[in-house]
Structure 1
Amino acid sequence: MASVACVPSVPAPGDAGGLRERARGAMLGLAVGDALGAPAENMKPSEIRRRWGRITGYVVEHPAGTDDTEYAIFSGLLLARHGSALTVAHVEAAWHQWIADLDEGPFRGAGFSERGTLENLRRGLAAPISAQHRHAWSDGLAMRAAPFGVFAAGAPAEAARLVAVDGTVSHEGEGIHGGRAVAAGVAAAMAGAPVESVVAAALSVIPADSWTARSLRRAVAVAHRGERAVRSAVVIGGYPWTDLAPEAVGLAFGAYAAAGGDFTTAVLTAVNMGRDADTTAAVAGALAGASCGATAIPPEWSTPIGPALGTCLPSMRGHHVLDIADLLTPDEEAP
């Protein structure tokens, strides 16, 4: 496995303001990427070009986050409540309290892994059996992994440990690997690590021979050649499902590496590659936002992001990603 010896340590307590800025960048970047990518979800690049040309901003009148944002808020609230003491029992109880035991309405926009998990929980199955469904390898954990990297800034292994606790209720195998890679990458970016070290952190917490690791390495190796090369290196042509964790994570890290960590370029690269574009852009946005901070996000993209609408998870309605970022980082020291 790759070493993370070059990953900087967590910022000193005196730099709480800088840490808060990166945390806000990660969470707001996730929501912005989600909203930018949502219209292009499940599309091919050729279909995107025919409809919009190259996407360079919002293409809908009222942009908003999807299940990616609402599940990230869900995990962020759970983590803020329990911190490093988080257990699988805590996660399972939260799924029941905030989703499974409620009338969640039409549950629009939810992924197959979430639906399968809820079906199992409602049948009385407990973790880890609740994660035994047909889409345990999906990117549903990767999409909600950023809060763990925010919380465990500078500690990729701890971020990966905590997100795996969360994922035990809903995912197995490659689904867990995808979440661990994203959480570790965000944790490294939160500490100001360069792109290469962020990638190394992600690879260090997953098996070197896993599909996710192979996909991530292939994407980053060709990132200098642009989005077409990244997509060709990762996407399995003709495969109908676009929510594969190895694919989505590879595309997201490839976009982040191709952009050299720049926020705007990373997110637009992910969006214009299509496939599970809301998730890939959300992950790329979280990585680049953690690297660059919230001020790097164009105001015309960040301003429309309001409190969650609860379209997928009514219990998350009214929570804002910036509030989650603040909950997961230490307060600034008084002067």
Structure 2
Amino acid sequence: MTAGTAPRPAPAGPDLADRILGGWTGRIAGNMLGKPVEQGEHWTRERIDAYLRLTGALPLTDYLPPPPDGAQGFELRPEWPACVRGGIRESCRDDDVDYTLLGLHLLETHGFGFTTEQVGELWLLRLPYLQTYTAERAAYRNLANGLRPPLTATYDNPYQEWIGALIRADVYGWTSPGDPRRAAGLARRDAVVSHTGNGVYGAMWAAALVAAAFTAPDVRSALVAALEVVPPGCRLARTVRETIALYEAGLGWSRTLDEMAERTAGLGWIHVVPNAAVLTAGLLHGEGDFTRTIALTVRGGLDTDSNGATAGSVAGVLCGAAAIPPQWSAPLRDRVRSAVYGFDGAGIGELAARTLRLATLTP
């Protein structure tokens, strides 16, 4: 925590319910905002802003506009018609939400004492192989071939420090409000089925960040509290600290990202470390405002839908569902599309209520 500030008491009752619903709504909205431009090698920060200028959408205060006829060099992902302004009727299917649903099902099925092996079993039972990517696909293949964790994370898997485990972490924070260390422990048990090193630390940090957002006095305090659960010398922790330091030195959002891009060059647009810098900068410069937070985070590029989802989750917990502007929540129509067996078409409010029940269980 920052000097002179103290954590808020853990929320309870209607406040906790609103904050958890805010996390779910924020995660889905942030994911939907970033989904049309999720291709970091093409959709750079500069290209995203060029598209927003072309479509008259700067400053960004709503979902992305559809592309104008004849626009060259601004091709969105194939799913774009259902993810842009005027086309959204529910959330699009996406792995950033699929794994959140799987995490909820894991906790409901096995409780907080779940094992890493049970994580893998639920993947095989509930998630289609072709809806997995990078480290998760490698781990899924290894699971199907009879390997067990931690070998599932290391055998023939070049993606061990990519962002996949981080995107699975939010539900552990929502169910551990105000307890970052507990959230990180749960996320670690999940992460090691597919990741090692900074890939695991990213998941622990994200889960702790979401948990800390329930009680931290501001977003910077939540970021600092989340750093306490990962090794201080790991590259992920150093990157987050460096991004915070640039913010505190008064560098603007764009210059901060320029500097952090140089320091993390060569890691690739799906690696967890550069994405942690984009996420941290978006949260800090968003300054607690939901719209500004997810807009800056997605405009930061790299893995836009994953970063938008996590930023939306943290910002949604900080402000609560009632304070999320309706242009983000209303188009979702309380409906989630998912590849996870048994979850397609679930209501966002229903999922939040199930999460609340877990969050109020006595550890």
User: What interval of TM-score do these two structures reach, taking the shorter chain for normalisation?
Assistant: 0.7 to 0.9
Q: Deviations over 1:128-164 (max 9, x none)?
A: 1111111111111111211111100011000000011
Q: 2:148 aligns with which of 101, 121, 126?
A: 126
Is this contact kept in 2: 1:6–1:197, CA < 8 A? no
Corresponding residue for residue 208 of structure 1: 232
Go from structure 1 to structure 2 and tell me whether the alpha carbon gap of 1:61 and 1:182 turns closer, same or farther (over 3 Å shift). same
Corresponding residue for residue 82 of structure 2: 62
Is this contact kept in 2: 1:142–1:182, CA < 8 A? yes
Identity, % of aligned positions: 28
Residue 281 (str. 1) matches residue 301 (str. 2) = no
Q: 2:167 aligns with which of 143, 146, 153?
A: 143
Q: Deviations over 1:259-293 (max 9, x none)?
A: 11211111000011111111111111111111011
Give the letter aligned to residue 84 of structure 1: F
Is this contact kept in 1: 2:176–2:211, CA < 8 A? yes
Give the letter aligned to residue 299 of structure 2: N
Residue 91 (str. 1) matches residue 101 (str. 2) = no
Corresponding residue for residue 270 of structure 1: 297
Is this contact kept in 2: 1:216–1:253, CA < 8 A? yes
Give the letter aligned to residue 116 of structure 1: A
Residue 184 (str. 1) matches residue 212 (str. 2) = no
- 32-41 or 296-305: bigger deviation: 296-305
Q: 2:278 aligns with which of 251, 272, 277?
A: 251
Gaps of 5+ in 2: 65-79, 84-90
- By how many angstroms is 1:2 displaced? 10
Is this contact kept in 2: 1:33–1:285, CA < 8 A? yes
- Structure 2 distance, partners of 1:331, 1:141, is 21
Gaps of 5+ in 1: none
Residue 193 (str. 1) matches residue 217 (str. 2) = yes
Is this contact kept in 1: 2:129–2:140, CA < 8 A? no
Is this contact kept in 2: 1:67–1:313, CA < 8 A? no
- Structure 2 distance, partners of 1:316, 1:263, is 27
- By how many angstroms is 1:106 displaced? 4.3
- Structure 1 distance, partners of 2:227, 2:267, is 27
- Structure 1 distance, partners of 2:237, 2:216, is 23
Go from structure 1 to structure 2 and tell me whether the alpha carbon gap of 1:173 and 1:6 turns closer, same or farther (over 3 Å shift). farther
Is this contact kept in 1: 2:108–2:358, CA < 8 A? no
Q: Deviations over 1:149-198 (max 9, x none)?
A: 11000110000000111112111111110011111111011225322320
Q: 1:299 aligns with which of 326, 338, 347?
A: 326
- 268-277 or 189-198: bigger deviation: 189-198
- By how many angstroms is 1:96 displaced? 1.9
- Structure 2 distance, partners of 1:320, 1:113, is 29
**What TM-score, normalized by structure 1, do the two folds share?**
0.88
Is this contact kept in 2: 1:251–1:270, CA < 8 A? yes
Is this contact kept in 2: 1:220–1:258, CA < 8 A? no
Corresponding residue for residue 37 of structure 1: 34
Give the letter aligned to residue 143 of structure 2: L
Corresponding residue for residue 51 of structure 1: 51
- Structure 2 distance, partners of 1:2, 1:182, is 19
Give the letter aligned to residue 33 of structure 2: L
- By how many angstroms is 1:248 displaced? 1.5
- Larger-gyration structure (1/2): 2
- By how many angstroms is 1:22 displaced? 0.6
- By how many angstroms is 1:249 displaced? 2.0
Go from structure 1 to structure 2 and tell me whether the alpha carbon gap of 1:39 and 1:17 turns closer, same or farther (over 3 Å shift). same
- Structure 1 distance, partners of 2:2, 2:148, is 34
- Structure 2 distance, partners of 1:184, 1:260, is 19
- Structure 2 distance, partners of 1:322, 1:248, is 29
Supply the RMSD in Å over aligned alpha carbons: 2.5
* SS of aligned partner of 1:157: helix
- By how many angstroms is 1:255 displaced? 0.8
* SS of aligned partner of 1:207: coil
Go from structure 1 to structure 2 and tell me whether the alpha carbon gap of 1:232 and 1:80 turns closer, same or farther (over 3 Å shift). farther
Go from structure 1 to structure 2 and tell me whether the alpha carbon gap of 1:298 and 1:332 turns closer, same or farther (over 3 Å shift). same
- Structure 1 distance, partners of 2:117, 2:341, is 22
Go from structure 1 to structure 2 and tell me whether the alpha carbon gap of 1:75 and 1:87 turns closer, same or farther (over 3 Å shift). same
- Structure 2 distance, partners of 1:135, 1:127, is 16
- By how many angstroms is 1:105 displaced? 7.0
**What TM-score, normalized by structure 2, do the two folds share?**
0.81
Go from structure 1 to structure 2 and tell me whether the alpha carbon gap of 1:189 and 1:332 turns closer, same or farther (over 3 Å shift). closer
Give the letter aligned to residue 263 of structure 1: F
